[in-house]
């Protein structure tokens, strides 16, 4: 399931960065630096096809000591080798690389520092130096950005810059706290100004073209959800047998809920890769074919209501129908190009669109159910809709929302 793997990669990288930063703070405490002024880049997890880290280290000016990649903790090499520009792990997606402290005596004997030399690293703050051009944003959109991040961002001459807080106040030297368990819920979730909130979606016409009446109203969401679960039950183990039980159940819940929502028309489109897409599409067609189109193509399964996606496709024909494509051809082309976020009901047209808000919905135990990118101005409304989809079909009210602003 490519979308699921991509989602897990994003979430795991974000959490690893938070852990890496906490360890970075501890490693740069003055007392620690006095005893362990340097660090070595080491492999902490095996990879089937490891990257050429020695080459990357050398290309960025790193020196080798007995073949080992070692440098002072305040060396610019750590940020230089990082895909993310951070002086702490992870240095790349699923790199499997980390750092280990090198003590003072060994650092002197290797010639990395001289006798009596002290390393006093300046601790980089989380998101320090983060900036992005906002010249393509209207004044109103820039206003939304300022509203979302308040005093955490400044906008000057078309550039939005992250305004760092006083790191020494939050993490004073010598008082670095032990890292707490991973936080599952954001207490500072972005919101949009009430006066600028987007209007609710217009009523979806039924299959007879009667505007204002959603044909899904005649179907109980919970019953449709149960039909979808029953139809896909035989594919569960084949798709998620390698995942831990709790993670598998959370992902499975999200998939079944999204398919149900697409069949009912509250979500424009569902699609994802499946090991046997034709068999899955056939099973789903028996369960929800009376409500929606179910198709398989390009190793993927698609579920949508024609009257729902038509408005989106016709609303931007230059993007979706440049050559007069029919509905499914337009949907298929959008999924292949990656410009499918709007069709999926996520607001942002693609995962690379910026600025955006990354929204992750988790179970009460912190297992990922689903995730998506949304434009800042639509974050509040789209998140409400996707939560409503989950809650209406599962009768659960304990989902957690975690948000990250992406400038």
Share of the chain above pLDDT 90, in %: 38
Rounded Cα distance between 355 and 353, Å, is 6
Please, what is the angle between helix 277-288 and helix 245-264, to 10°?
50
What is the reported pLDDT for 351?
A: 67
Tell me 197's DSSP state.
P
Per-residue pLDDT band at 60 (split at 50, 70, 90)? very high
Mean pLDDT value across the chain: 77
Whole-model pTM: value is 0.51
Most confident of 7-16, 79-88, 206-215: 79-88
- The answer, yes or no, to whether residue 135 has pLDDT greater than 90, is no
- How, if at all, do strands 356-362 and 368-374 pair? antiparallel
- The answer, yes or no, to whether residue 105 has pLDDT greater than 60, is yes
Which pair of tokens denotes residue 243? 């995942």
Per-residue pLDDT band at 328 (split at 50, 70, 90)? very high
pLDDT digits (tens, 9 = 90+) for 181-204: 323 333 333 333 333 333 333 333
Mean pLDDT calculated for residue range 113-119: 88
What is the reported pLDDT for 127?
A: 55
Rounded Cα distance between 111 and 105, Å, is 10
- The answer, yes or no, to whether residue 320 has pLDDT greater than 80, is yes
Residue 70 CB coordination number (10 Å): 24
- The answer, yes or no, to whether residue 394 has pLDDT greater than 50, is yes
Tell me 235's DSSP state.
G
Least confident of 28-42, 79-93, 236-250, 364-378: 236-250
Given a contact cutoff of 8 angstroms between Cβ atoms, the answer to whether 123 and 21 are in contact is no
What is the reported pLDDT for 102?
A: 93
Q: Where are the domains of the chain?
A: 14-110, 131-191, 215-406
- The answer, yes or no, to whether residue 241 has pLDDT greater than 60, is no
DSSP secondary structure, 133-161, as one string:
E-TTS-HHHHHHHHHHHGGGEEEETTEEE
What is the reported pLDDT for 235?
A: 83
What is the reported pLDDT for 152?
A: 60
What is the reported pLDDT for 146?
A: 62
Mean pLDDT calculated for residue range 130-155: 63
Rounded Cα distance between 345 and 385, Å, is 9
Mean pLDDT calculated for residue range 122-128: 63
Query: Strands across the sheet with 368-374, in order?
Result: 368-374, 356-362, 400-406
């Amino acid at each position: 399931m490519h979308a699921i793997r991509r989602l897990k990669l994003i979430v795991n990288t974000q959490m690893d960065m938070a852990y890496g930063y906490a360890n970075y703070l501890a490693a740069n405490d003055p007392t620690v630096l006095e005893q362990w002024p340097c660090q070595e880049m080491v492999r902490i997890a095996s990879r089937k096809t490891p990257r050429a880290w020695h080459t990357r280290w050398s290309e960025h000016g790193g020196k080798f000591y007995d073949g080992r990649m070692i440098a002072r903790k305040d060396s610019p090499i750590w940020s230089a080798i990082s895909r993310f520009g951070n002086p702490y792990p992870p240095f790349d997606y699923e790199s499997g690389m980390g750092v280990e402290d090198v003590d003072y005596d060994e650092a002197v004997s290797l010639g990395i520092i001289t006798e009596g030399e002290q390393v006093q690293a300046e601790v980089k703050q989380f998101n320090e130096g983060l900036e992005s051009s906002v010249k393509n944003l209207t004044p109103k959109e820039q206003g939304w950005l300022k509203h979302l991040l308040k005093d955490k961002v400044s906008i000057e001459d078309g550039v939005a810059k992250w305004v760092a807080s006083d790191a020494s106040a939050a993490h004073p030297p010598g008082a670095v706290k032990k890292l707490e368990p991973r936080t599952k819920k954001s207490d500072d979730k972005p919101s949009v100004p009430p006066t600028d909130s987007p209007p609710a979606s217009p009523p979806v016409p039924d299959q007879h073209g009667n505007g204002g009446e959603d044909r899904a109203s005649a179907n109980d969401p919970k019953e449709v959800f149960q039909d979808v679960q029953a139809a896909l039950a035989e594919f569960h183990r084949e798709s998620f047998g390698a995942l831990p039980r709790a993670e598998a159940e959370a992902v499975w819940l999200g998939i079944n809920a999204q398919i149900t929502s697409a069949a009912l028309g509250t979500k424009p489109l569902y699609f994802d890769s499946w090991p046997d897409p034709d068999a899955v599409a056939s099973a789903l067609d028996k369960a929800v074919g009376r409500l929606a189109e179910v198709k398989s193509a390009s190793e993927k399964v698609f579920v949508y209501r024609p009257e729902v996606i038509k408005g989106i496709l016709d609303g931007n024909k230059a993007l979706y129908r440049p050559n007069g494509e029919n509905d499914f051809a337009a949907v298929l082309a959008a999924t292949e190009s990656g410009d499918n976020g709007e069709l999926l009901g996520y607001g942002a047209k693609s995962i690379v669109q910026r600025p955006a808000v990354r929204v992750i919905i988790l179970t009460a135990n912190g297992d990922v159910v689903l995730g998506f990118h949304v434009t800042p101005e639509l974050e509040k409304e789209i998140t409400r809709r996707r939560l409503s989809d989950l809650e209406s079909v599962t009768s659960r009210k304990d989902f957690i929302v975690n948000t990250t602003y992406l400038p």
